[in-house]
Structure 1
Amino acid sequence: MWAQRLSGPFTFQQVEVEAPRADRLAAGQVLLATRAGGICGSDLPFFKGAPFLHAADPAGRTTPAPGFPLHEVVGEVVASRHPEHSPGDLVVGWASAFDGIAELVVTDGEGLAGYDTTMPPTTAVMLQPLACVLYAAEQVGDVRGRTVAVIGQGPIGLLFSHVLKQRGAGRVVGVDRVDRSDAAGVFGVDETVTASANLWSATVADADRPELVVEAVGHQVTTLQDCVDGVAFGGQVLYFGIPDDLVYPVDMMTFVRKNLTLRAGVTLERRRVLRDAGSYLADHPALREVYVSDVHPVGRAQEAFAAAVQPAVGQYKVALDAT
């Protein structure tokens, strides 16, 4: 089968590798023929050369597996040992081994769900990040009437802005170095701040401090402190960004004296929240038209990842088309 192999920093090569065998699936696993993939911010450090710290490679490999790094996938079930998935089903969700840039992928069936197949696969791929955002929004509790700030208005941050607004937030502030004012109306952003997080936190007036700040940037240690500095007394910080470092320094005196709550975590109940994402997108179809802004053929994965590494005005989710 074909696969894109990350042969070095910023470099993909298309290779032919042995296909996974349906008769070797473990209980609960599904064999997918990929149709599309979405590039997530959590994939980008590996494209740039970072080691994979999220889980040990069960095969003991010291080099990236073919198809790495991509986990947002849409595909057709070829074989299944999961009771809810059958051959021929079209599904969306997680490539659990982060190896989704390949013709065939073995993944955990609990991280997959069906979707409205009137959408092309390159649109349906947005259901996976939307599911993650919906689950995280459930954890932060009631935001009705409250001011919230979302630090980072990339693909994840824009979804947070929309979901929190729909959950009743009184005012949504979107903060990003890239001008995202063109997306504000579609994604429910009441105020767009084109600035770094530290500049925003240093200049926000006390009366305007949000009760909830979502860190949707990740990949460096400074932005979490900016959230702590910017949030209102008694407020909550949701760290949704992906940590590239094991230890993050935080000014604990400020954290304690402001009576803050810090929340983080991974997405659980994946099949359930993928179905919730399908219902949410059906209720808000305008998101389908704008969220995936750039589609590249899978044979040009390197070009697609290079674009995703460089956020730009008008660029949101970058997807790969494997059809």
Structure 2
Amino acid sequence: MWAHRLIAPYEFEQVEVPDLTEQQVGDGQVLLRFVAAGVCGSDLPAFRGAQGRLPGDDGAGAAEKNGFPIHEIVGDVVVSRHPRHRAGDRVVGWASGFDGLMEQVISDGDGLAGYDPTLAPAEAVGLQPLACVLYAVEQLPDLAGRHVAVIGQGSIGLLFSAVAKAAGARRVTGVDSVDRRDVAAAFGVDTVVRATSDRWVHHLDSGDRPEVVIEAVGHQVATLGHAVEAVAPGGTVFYFGVPDDDSYPISMRTMLRNNLTLISGITRDRARMLELAGKFVAEHPELLGNYVTHVFGHDEAQAAFELAARPAPERVKIAVVA
């Protein structure tokens, strides 16, 4: 079967590897045939060559792990040892080994769910990040009538903007150094700020501070501090961006004096959240069509990641299809 692996920073190699077998599928797992995948911002540090903390990412110059680092996947079930999935089902969710960029993938069944078959596979990959966003918003106070700011208007940040607006946010502010004016309205953004988060905070009027700030950038330490500085007294910050460092400096004086709440966490109840994502898309049928802007064949993984790694105003979500 075909598989991609990183052999150096910014460099994939397509290789032929042995097919996976039924005997390799453990209890609670399924064997999938690749149908489509999504490129996530959290995949990019590995593409750039950063050493991750996932099992198997132990190459000297790059990960050198088959299928790494894709985790957003759509696939057809070939073998199932999970009670909710049967051979022939088409499912969406997590490639639990972060090895979804190959022709066959073994994954935990708890992180997969069926979906509306009328969705094109390239669009269906958006259900996985949407599930993550919906779970995060469940942890927040009711957004109805509130001013919500989202730092980072990439593929995750725009989903947060859309979900916040659908939840009744009075105003959604999107902050990004990339010019998102052409796509912002489709995701419910009321105020588009083209700036880095430190410049946004520096020019923020004290009477215009958002009650909820969502950090959707990650992979560096500065933006969390900017979120804490920006949020209104009594407000809430959700840190969604993936941390690359163990320790992040924030002002505890600001946290204390302004009675702030800081929330973070990974997505749990994955099957339930994938089902909720499907319902959300049914209620907002235009969302995924606006979301997935670029589609590549599986043999074009290099080009897909190269596009994902550079800022582009017209790019939102990139899908890779069989």
Q: How far apart in 2 are the matches of 1:303 and 1:183?
A: 23
* Structure 1 SS opposite 2:139: helix
Match of 2:190 in 1: 190
Q: 1:1-323 counterparts in 2 under 5 A?
A: 1-53=1-53, 55-57=54-56, 63-322=63-322
Given that 1:34 and 1:103 are in contact with CA atoms closer than 8 Å, whether structure 2 keeps it comes out as yes
Change (3 A) 1:60 1:294: closer
Question: Aligned partner of 1:291: which letter?
Answer: Y
Work out whether residues 180 and 194 of structure 1, in 8 Å CA contact, stay in contact via their aligned partners in 2.
yes
* CA positional deviation for 1:61: 7.0
**Quick one: distance in 2 between partners of 1:60 and 1:232?**
43
> Secondary structure at the residue paired with 1:241?
coil
The CA deviation at 1:52 is: 1.4
Determine if contact 1:131/1:274 at 8 Å carries over to the other structure.
yes
CA–CA separation in structure 1 for the residues paired with 2:182 and 2:90: 33
CA distance, structure 1, for counterparts of residue 313 and residue 153 of structure 2: 11
Q: 2:149 & 2:86 partners in 1: Cα distance? A: 42
Q: Secondary structure at the match of 1:15?
A: strand
1:183 Cα deviation (Å)? 1.5
CA positional deviation for 1:286: 0.9
Q: Whole-Å Cα distance in 2 between the matches of residues 93 and 30 of structure 1?
A: 12
How far is the alpha carbon of 1:246 from its aligned partner? 1.1
SS at match of 1:255: helix
1:13, 1:65 → 2: CA distance?
Answer: 11
Q: Distance in 2 between matches of 1:284 and 1:8?
A: 40
Q: CA deviation at 1:194?
A: 0.4
- Per-residue deviation, 1:163: 0.4
Opposite residue 11 of structure 1, the aligned amino acid is E
Contact 1:93 1:112 in 2 (8 A): yes
Please say if residues 152 and 216 of structure 1, whose CA atoms lie closer than 8 Å, have aligned partners that are also in contact: yes
Which sits farther off after the overlay, 113-122 or 86-95? Answer: 113-122
> 1:240-299 deviations in whole A, cap 9, x for unaligned?
000011111112112211111110000000000001000100110111221000111111
Native 8 Å contact 2:58 2:64 kept in 1: no
Rounded Cα–Cα distance in structure 1 between residues aligned with 2:106 and 2:18:
13
State the AA in 1 paired with 2:182.
D
Once the two structures are TM-superposed, the CA of residue 24 in structure 1 deviates from its matched residue by 2.4
Contact 1:150 1:214 in 2 (8 A): yes
Cα offset, 1:56, TM superposition = 3.5
What is the aligned residue count? Answer: 320
**What letter matches 1:20 in structure 2?**
L
| TM-aligned CA distance change 1:61 to 1:26, over 3 Å | farther
Letter of the 1:84 counterpart:
R
Residue 60 of structure 1, CA deviation: 7.5
Match for 2:186: what amino acid? V
Question: Residues 202 and 229 of structure 1 are in contact (CA less than 8 Å); yes or no, is this contact kept in structure 2?
Answer: no
Alignment partners' CA distance in 2, 1:159 and 1:18: 37
Say which SS state the counterpart of residue 3 (structure 2) adopts. strand
Amino acid at match of 2:169: A
Contact 2:25 2:81 (8 Å CA) reproduced? yes
SS at match of 2:73: strand
Gaps of 5+ in 1: none
RMSD over equivalenced CA pairs, Å: 1.2
1:143–1:164 Cα contact (<8 Å) kept: yes
Over 4 Å off, 4+ runs: 59-63
The residue identity in structure 2 corresponding to 1:43 is D
CA contact (8 A) 2:46 2:52 kept: yes
- String of CA shifts for 1:95-132, please: whole Å, max 9, x gaps: 00000000000000000000111111111000000000
